[in-house]
Every structure is written in C-alpha cells, then in structure tokens.
Amino acid sequence: MSLKAFKRALWVYHLNTGSCNGCDIEILAVLTPRYDVERFGIMLVGSPRHADVLLVTGPVVKQMVPRVKRIYEQTPDPKLVMVVGNCGIEGGVFYESYNLAGPVDQIIPVDVYVPGCPPRPEAIIHSVVMAWVKLEKAEQGVS
Amino acid sequence: MNLLGENIWINGVIIIVGSAVLVFIGGVFGMLYRGIDRKLVAHMQGRVGPPIVQPFRDVQKLLMKESIIPDGAVSWLFTAAPFICLITSALLLLYIPLFGLQALLGGFGDALLIVYLLILPSLAFAVGGFASSSPYATVGAQREMVVLMSYEFPLAVAIVSLGWRIGHVTTQLTPPANPFMFSTIAEYPIWSLVGPLGIIGSLILVFTLLVVTSGKGAKVPFDVAEAETELAGGILVEYSGRNLCLFYLADIIKAFAMSSLVVALFIPYNLSPLVGIGTPVLAGIVDGLFFLVKVFAVMFISMSVIRTAMARFKISQVSWVYIIAMTLISLVGLILIAVDLMV
Ligand code: SF4
C-alpha cells in the first residue's frame, strides 16, 4: 500500500462549525472548472465516514463542540484535519466573541492551517500540497 | 442437465479458474472505464479531470482505511452486504458474453436469468443500507428499492420483445433454439431479421436499455439513492474503508456487466469475420478489442453523456420516468416490432 495512492486520492468532508460562509464558497470555487482539484484525485464527499480530510471552517461555536468531536471520531483513520480561514485559526472577526468555544485546534488536533478571510482558492490548493509534505514526513519518520 | 458434465473435476477446475480470471479482467477493465468516464466527463465540463488510473488509487486508498461498524448497526448484515453485492455483481460477468467469446456459464443461463440476477446487487445494496441504522441510509435504501421496482418493467419489456422477435425465427428451426440464449441472439441479430419499422422499434428498445443502464449504475440523473448533496451519501453513508471499497468495486463491475449486456443483446457482431481474419488467436484479439470499443460506446452514451447533460431527478420524477415514460416508450418499440412482423 503506497503513500502515493493515499496522497492522490484524498476525499474531503467539509465541516462548517459556524463560519460566515465565505470560506465555504471559496472551497466550492476550488472544485469549479477553473481550479478543478479533481485532477489531483480530490473529491468532496457527503459523509465523514468516506473522508480522508476534514476541511473545517468557522470558529466553533459552543453548540458545535460535541458535534465537531463526534465527526472527528466518525472519520476513519488515517485522517487529516485542515482548518480553512482565519476564524478557525484564531477567531478572526469573531475573536473573543461570547459564543465561541475557541478556535478549532482547541477542540480537535489540526494538521494544516490555511490563513485568509477568506483564503484564495490557490491557498487552499497549496495547503493540500502542505498536507502531502506532512504525510511524506510522517512516513519517513516511521521508516 | 448436470452442471459439470462428464468430467466433474476438470470442468469444475475450469469454471473456478475461469471465473477468477474473468472477474479479475472484468474488474480491471471496469476500473479503467470508470477512469476514462471520469476524465471524459471532466473534459465535457471544461475541467482537466483526474488521471485515468484514479479508480485504482481510490481502491488502494480505501483498503488502507479503517472499516468502522457503527454501534447501532446489525453488524453481520452490515459486513455481509458489501460481499454479497460484489459477488452477485461478479456473477453477472459469468453469464454475459465478454470479449467476443461465449459466456463462461453461457450454456446454463440466458438473458432472462440476467434480468433476475441484476436485482441481487441492488438488493444487497439496500440490505446494507437498512442494516446500517442511519436514517439517511434507510431513506437511501427505500429509494433504491423504489428505483429498482421502477426500471424493472422497461428492462423486462426490452429484453422480452427482443427474445420474442428472435424466437419467431428460431422456434421454426429443427431443433428449435432458445431465443434468449446469448448464442442464439448472436447468431440471429435482431437487425437482420426485421424490416424498417422493426429497426425503428429496436432502436427504441436500445434507447430504453441505455436509460435503464444509467439507472442501474446509479448515475446522475438517477442516483437518488446516493444523492450526495441531499442524503449525504445515502445508502453508503455509514460505510468506510474496506466495506466501502467492496461497494465501489461492485458498482464498477455492475456498470461493466450492464454495458456488456447491452452489447450482447443488440450489437452481438464480431469484427473478425467482416475483415476476414482466419487465425483463431488473431481473430480473438481483434474481437476482444472490438468488444471493448462497443462497451465503451455504450458506457459513453448511457453514463458519461447523460451524466454530464442532466441534473438529478427528484425521486418521484425517477419513478415517473421509468414507470410511465420509459415503459410507454419501450411498449411503442414492442408494438413497432410486432407491426413489422405483420406487414
Ligand atoms: S475566515 Fe473569514 S471568510 Fe472565512 S468563514 Fe471566517 S469570517 Fe468567514
């Protein structure tokens, strides 16, 4: 079982934890003909059970905490977590808002951060490359 | 008739080894076609699309993943359903002539048997959905059953009218030949039996079968059972890892088998007699390649083009399309063939 097959067939589950929808639209833009991430084998799937990557947007409102944890646990190993957008990284425009349970990495372990409010589609694709680099490093660490 | 004939051991070994080889080849070509299909759809949408080997990567990746069985699921059914689905899909390959050759078990089953066998993968699929305890999967499984019941009738009309027309000729023979046998269908292709009206009728039947193929493969616009955007994956919502991989493979093999069925019923021609190649090996290669071209044509029309051109139907529309529209259209085809016989 090669790392290449895993790297080049990432299925993505998109999880909105209370974002303003700006990042979600940019994520959809990544799938359009102009950016077309399907050429790297990346597919958007509808269920966390099928996912290899959790694409988390939003600052995690209090209501979402158990759900985010649960979705993280529902995703089969091995998995990656990518946070898209400033508000998921450190709160962004919602910084220190009364209803936040903290940025995403307070709730679940995060592998890749994509800053921007919202990040450009190129930045999201670049973060996938970063995820590949991380996977390669992890494999070298093991072997 | 004794299934294994005189030499039980030799025939048994031939059947077992042959099945393994056939299923393997069918799977590989099915995955290749799925890759080509995805590439072509991407090109038609103005995208670059995944590489053609993408399905192989997907399968490899799915095998590396963890297979989760949800707490609420009926675990033995949940695990058994993907296997049953894959095995019954693979069974189809044994009864349908592939690569211009006779079907491996062609002597023991005909086109009517295929109609019944085609139900099994969908049933296993639905059972898996019901067993997985998720409300999304349950809704998906119910939809799968509704769609299954909807396209059954046009499918039966198409195959039975074909057999009925061919039977008019073959039952006069001594000894009479079973018109539903693929060998008989290949010997008396419908196009050479009928007049102009009948040709129009047969074309209509081909159209019906192509639309049914699209639904059988659960492709857009008929993928209501999986409906990623509304049911979050529908039947498959709880499946992961190896179990999901088995369903993925079953789907690919089923699509390949269904396209081969259309080829076997309506385009049973071989290229080698036409271009006059005598040597068996060379003729086999040419026919095999020609078969791949024919299957590609069927898949391209019934899956790629329809998938690109249309959006998903609502569940009520799917039933309507099959139960009313396609049934009427296929009956028109049948009537045209019958009228052709009278004039
Ligand atoms: S990072 Fe900005 S654009 Fe993205 S979800 Fe947060 S507030 Fe909206």
Q: Where are the alpha helices (DSSP H) in chain B?
A: 8-44, 54-64, 75-95, 111-117, 119-131, 135-170, 182-187, 190-193, 196-216, 228-231, 241-266, 272-275, 280-299, 306-309, 315-319, 327-342
CB atoms within 10 A of CB B79: 17
Instruction: Tell which wins on pLDDT, B276 or A24.
Output: A24
Per residue in B133-162, pLDDT (tens digit) is 888 888 888 888 888 888 888 888 888 888
Going from the Cα of A64 to the center of ligand 1, the distance in angstroms, rounded, reads: 16
| B1, part of any domain | no
Q: Residue B136: exposed, middle, or buried by beta-carbon count in 10 A (0-12, 13-18, 19+)?
A: buried
Ligand 1 centroid from CA A115, angstroms: 10
What is the share, in percent, of chain B residues with pLDDT greater than 70? 93
Check: CB of residue A46 under 8 Å from CB of residue A14. Answer: no
Nearest CA in chain A to B49: A39
Give tens-digit pLDDT for B231-269. Answer: 667 788 888 888 888 888 888 888 888 888 888 888 877
Ligand 1 pocket, A28 CB below 6 A? no
Residues B204-223, mean pLDDT to the nearest whole number: 82
Decide if A39 and B42 are in contact by the 8 Å CB cutoff: yes
Phi, psi for residue A82 in degrees, rounded to 5: -120, 130
Task: Tell me whether A49 touches chain B (CB under 8 Å).
Answer: yes
Total domains in the fold of chain B: 1
User: A119: Cβ below 6 Å to ligand 1?
Assistant: no
In this predicted structure, the answer to whether residue B4 has a pLDDT above a threshold of 60 is: no
Is the pLDDT at B2 greater than 60? The verdict is no
How many A×B Cβ pairs under 8 Å?
86
pLDDT band at B1 (very low <50, low <70, confident <90, very high): very low
For residues B317-338, average pLDDT: 86
What per-residue confidence (pLDDT) applies to A7?
A: 78
Given an 8 Å threshold on Cβ–Cβ distance, is B58 in contact with A9?
yes
> Is the pLDDT confidence value at B108 over 80?
no
**Average pLDDT of the residues in B271-285:** 74
User: CA-CA distance, A91 to A58, in Å (whole number)?
Assistant: 8
Pocket test for ligand 1, best of A21, A25, A87 (most atoms within 8 A of CB): A87
- Best of B236, B240, B248 to substitute, by most chain A Cβ atoms within 10 angstroms, is B240
pLDDT value at residue B267: 81
Nearest CB among A33, A41, A46 relative to B46 is that of: A33
DSSP assigned state of B276: T
How does residue B228 score in pLDDT terms, banded at 50, 70 and 90?
Answer: low
Q: Determine if residue A36 is left, alpha or beta; phi over 0 gives left, psi from -120 to 50 gives alpha, anything else beta.
A: left
Could you tell me which residue, A75 or B167, shows the higher pLDDT? A75
Q: Smallest CA–CA separation between B67 and chain A, in Å?
A: 7
Over its length of 143 residues, how does chain A's per-residue pLDDT go in tens digits?
A: 567 777 788 888 888 888 888 888 888 888 888 888 888 888 888 888 888 888 899 888 888 899 999 999 888 888 889 998 888 888 888 888 888 887 888 888 998 898 888 899 999 888 888 888 888 887 777 65
Residue nearest to atom 1 of ligand 1 (CA): A85
* CB distance A89 to ligand 1 below 6 Å: no
Closest Cα in chain B, distance from residue A80 (Å): 12
B242 by Cβ neighbours in 10 Å (0-12 / 13-18 / 19+) ranks as middle
CA–CA min distance B257, chain A (Å): 25
CATH number of A18's domain: 3.40.50.12280
Amino acid making up residue B132: S
Quote the pLDDT of residue A58. Answer: 87
Q: How confident is the model at residue B191 (pLDDT cuts 50, 70, 90)?
A: confident
Q: What is the average pLDDT value for chain B, to the nearest integer?
A: 82
Q: Which of B84-98, B182-196, B200-214, B217-231 has the lowest mean pLDDT?
A: B217-231
Residues of chain A positioned with their CB less than 8 A from the CB of B236: 47, 50
Number of domains in chain A: 1
**Nearest alpha-carbon partner for B249 in B129, B109, B39, B88:** B88
- Residue-level pLDDT at B97: 82
B42 contacts: CB under 8 Å, gap ≥ 6: A36, A38, A39, B48, B49, B50
Atom nearest to A59 CA in ligand 1: 6
- The answer to whether B65 contacts A77, with C-beta atoms less than 8 Å apart, is yes
Domain of residue A104: give its range.
3-142
Q: How far is CA A96 from CA A53, A82, A84, A116, B40, in A?
A: 28, 22, 19, 18, 49
Subunit contact B38:A6, Cβ cutoff 8 A = no
The pLDDT of residue B3: 55
Q: How far is B42 from A42, CA to CA, in rounded Å? A: 13
Q: In this structure, is residue B16 part of a structural domain?
A: yes
Question: Of the residues A21, A94, A117, which should be mutated to test ligand 1's pocket, given the most ligand atoms within 8 Å of the CB?
Answer: A117
Pairing state between β A53-57 and A80-84: parallel
Is B3 a member of any domain? no
**Banded model confidence at residue B229, pLDDT cuts 50, 70, 90:** low
Residue B11: band (very low, low, confident or very high) from pLDDT cuts 50, 70, 90: confident
